[in-house]
A and B are shown apart, each in its own frame.
Chain A
Amino acid sequence: MADVRNRPGLLTGRLASTDTGVTLAAYAVSLIAALALSAVLVSATGGSAGAVLDALLDGSLRSPGAWGLTLTTAAPLLLVATGTIVATRAGLVNIGQEGQVLIGAAFSGYAAVRVGGPGWVVVSATLLFGAVGGGAWAGIAAGLRAWRKVPEVLTTLLLTFVSFPLLTYGLSQSWLLADRDTERQNQLNTGEIIPGDARLPDLRLFGNAIDSGFLVAAGLAAILTLAMARTLLGTRVDMLGFNPRAAQRFGVAAGPLSAAVLVGSGATAGMAGAVLLSGGAAGDRLVFGFAGNFGWDGLLVALLARNRILVALPVALVFATLRTGSSFLAATGVDRKVTDVVQALLVLALLVPPALLFVRDRRRALRSTGPSTAPSTNPTPEAA
């Protein structure tokens, strides 16, 4: 019995139709349906869909300096998504990115204010600590999976809920993350301000300030794309995802490799936390709820990109557009939570076409093979 769950083809529907026209049409229809549904929702609650779209575009692209902020926001999303995609391709279900981002940010916040030395040392230490923090947090789940076969779906998720109070605890202790500046009012439960030389430098382009975290994210995405496509290790990861038993026959050490991939995906999420902190996309100091759903959104980006890192880049940009654009929604009188709905609807909408095409192709295949090889010539009612 082959383990279908771990076949990326089934996970992503990549076995689906080769018929490009139909595929594109199916995607277009379901995307339009998702957007239309969002528009209906906005109108039904007394808003104007046109005004919402206008505000989103103003906030994310058209107003001065906006697209630089959008690129800055896309960086952590892309980082989270990149690691998640590699993990998914190895057949793992890591859904605890939010906690991994948070712990990564906490670790990097510690490094940013404690490590001395020239700027580049501090910045590298910040990123490195972020990766270590996120990796360690995912490492708990990896360890439990390796040791007791506890499903990582559940542990990564439960660990996320542990990470929130853990950060609060860290922020309440001055030997950990709490602000040591006793002069400041309300220093309770906030981190120290990140010093200027621990920050990732901004790139200036046409009046837009783009955090160099975006380069880090794009670079890592490029490296991992190449590594997955061109190296033996990448092939092993994919093989593990397609069929763990066959992979083991070919000499892939399934246990250690999947543990390493899980830790690695946590490390990229943790690095996203570091970029979030030192790039300034989420404020200049650690506070409660710092991760601000960047982990969850990055996970959604990965799901939408259907296991292809290069596709994750445009998807991350779309999500970042929604995020930065939502700050302009207040003027339209529509609550900014509407962007969460739009994002989730987009994810669900993009799940449908490949699955639908997969079912259609299967029915065709069954019909053409006839009764001797196929279980039945008639499509089963549940496949309709």
Chain B
Amino acid sequence: MFDAIATLLSSDALYDSAFQFSVLFAFAASGEWVAERAGTLNISVEGMLLGGAFGAVVGHQIAGSAIVGLLVGALFGLLIGSVQANLSHRLTANQFVVGLALNVLVLGLTAYLDSSIGFDPARAKVIEVPGLVDLPLIGSAIFGRPWPAYLVYPLVPLLWWAVFRTRWGLEVRAVGENPQAADVSGIDVNARRRQAIYITGITCGMGGAFLVLGQVGTFQSGIVNGRGFIALAAVIFGGWTLRGTLIGCVLFGFVEALTLSIPANGYTIDPFILKAAPYIVALTVVLVFATRVRQPRALAQPFVRGLT
């Protein structure tokens, strides 16, 4: 038993795929965190990731470059985000209904287009950080990645700075805590919420593009496969703080990686437990942390002036 754990923990592959998934979750969850601080429980993360992944192969196909792929991926994510934002925070349609319909739409649309067009494989170049890449175990996992992975490092501090150190960020947090008070003090509540969702769209689009360019290399319609919902759980796990959210991303990344590396190392665990593990862990985590921390007070509550 302890042997097995030791073998697992000393395999490079575990850290490699754990980091891989953590980066994906970090892209998605950090953007989702902004939307949730503004008061939207945005369940279209799944669709945004898938849209970003699809955008990446489209961009790569057109221009033959991974940079364009990433940009088109972010653009597709933004596009889905703007539909979500404008339907739920301009037209007051229910945010869950919109998110769900968008997830279905993106899944159907990308699967349909993928089957009727067909794309070349799209991969980004690996950039190795000299010296650090030779570190044992984690060296190549962290410092020998395709370049889109490194974008997560500037992205997260940037989001932190935007939310905690700018006027815009203060307004975003105000809108998520008490939209009525924010409205009275002259903040355009629904505009801030829409902008927060645009940011989610961009980061999830980048995350989806990373999934294709930096991990899988092609587009498949099952490429995201519910991981967007795990990113949602990571935000709850983090108690709506950015630091906690990132810890959640790493935790879920390791759980996902273990489900891959346990069979790869020749150990047999029931496949049911392996496949269900990320979701069971997410459920447990949500269960433990849901009431212990304070969520944004107006989370998932629409704002219509004069009605609330």
Contacts and interface: CB of A to CB of B under 8 A. Distances in A.
Interface of A: 1-5, 10-11, 13, 41, 45-47, 93, 95, 144, 148-151, 153-155, 157-159, 161-162, 164-166, 168-169, 172, 296, 299-300, 303, 334-335, 337-341, 343-345, 347-348, 351-352, 355-356, 358-359, 362, 366, 374-375, 380-383
Nearest to A349: B101
Contacts of A299: 100
A151 B300 contact: yes
Interface in B258-275: 270-275
Interface residues of B, number: 63
B109 to A, nearest CB: 5
B98 to A, nearest CB: 7
A168 to B, nearest CB: 6
24 contacts: A1-B180, A2-B307, A10-B307, A11-B97, A45-B112, A144-B287, A150-B290, A151-B41, A153-B41, A153-B43, A157-B43, A162-B280, A165-B276, A168-B275, A303-B101, A334-B116, A335-B112, A335-B115, A337-B112, A340-B104, A347-B101, A355-B92, A375-B183, A380-B305
B76 to A, nearest CB: 15
A95 B93 contact: no
A300 B101 contact: yes
Contacts, number: 182
Nearest to B109: A341
> Most chain-B CB neighbours within 10 Å: which of A3, A157, A159?
A157
B247 interface: no
A202 B233 CA distance: 45
B152 interface: no
B259 to A, nearest CB: 10
A351 B98 CA distance: 8
Contacts of A151: 41, 290, 300
Contact of B93 (A4, A341, A352): A352
A337 B115 contact: yes
Contacts of B116: 45-47, 334-335
Given A5-B301, A10-B307, 17 more contacts: A10-B304, A45-B117, A95-B100, A144-B286, A154-B236, A155-B286, A159-B279, A162-B283, A165-B276, A166-B276, A169-B270, A172-B272, A340-B111, A341-B112, A351-B97, A381-B191, A382-B188
A150 B104 contact: no
A148 B302 contact: no
Contacts of B273: 165
B286 A150 contact: yes
Interface string B271-308: 11111101110110011001100000000111111111
A334 to B, nearest CB: 8
B96 interface: yes
A131 B115 CA distance: 37
A243 to B, nearest CB: 12
B43 A165 contact: no
Nearest to B104: A344
- Secondary structure at the B interface, as helix, strand, loop or mixed, is helix
Contact of A45 (B113, B290, B291): B113
Q: Which 9 A-B pairs have the closest CB atoms?
A: A340-B108, A344-B105, A169-B272, A355-B91, A165-B275, A347-B101, A341-B108, A45-B116, A337-B112
Contact of B301 (A3, A155, A168): A3
A106 to B, nearest CB: 13
A95 B103 CA distance: 12
A59 B107 CA distance: 24
B92 A381 contact: no
Interface centre among A296, A359, A362, A382, by most chain B C-beta atoms within 10 angstroms, is A382
A144 B275 CA distance: 22
A155 B283 contact: yes
A159 B283 contact: yes
B102 interface: yes
Contacts of A334: 116
Contacts of B105: 341, 344-345, 347-348
B229 interface: yes
A280 to B, nearest CB: 26
B90 to A, nearest CB: 6
Contacts of B306: 362, 366, 374-375
Contacts of A359: 90-92
A44 B93 CA distance: 30
Contacts of A374: 306
A350 B102 CA distance: 13
B226 interface: yes
A3 B307 CA distance: 10
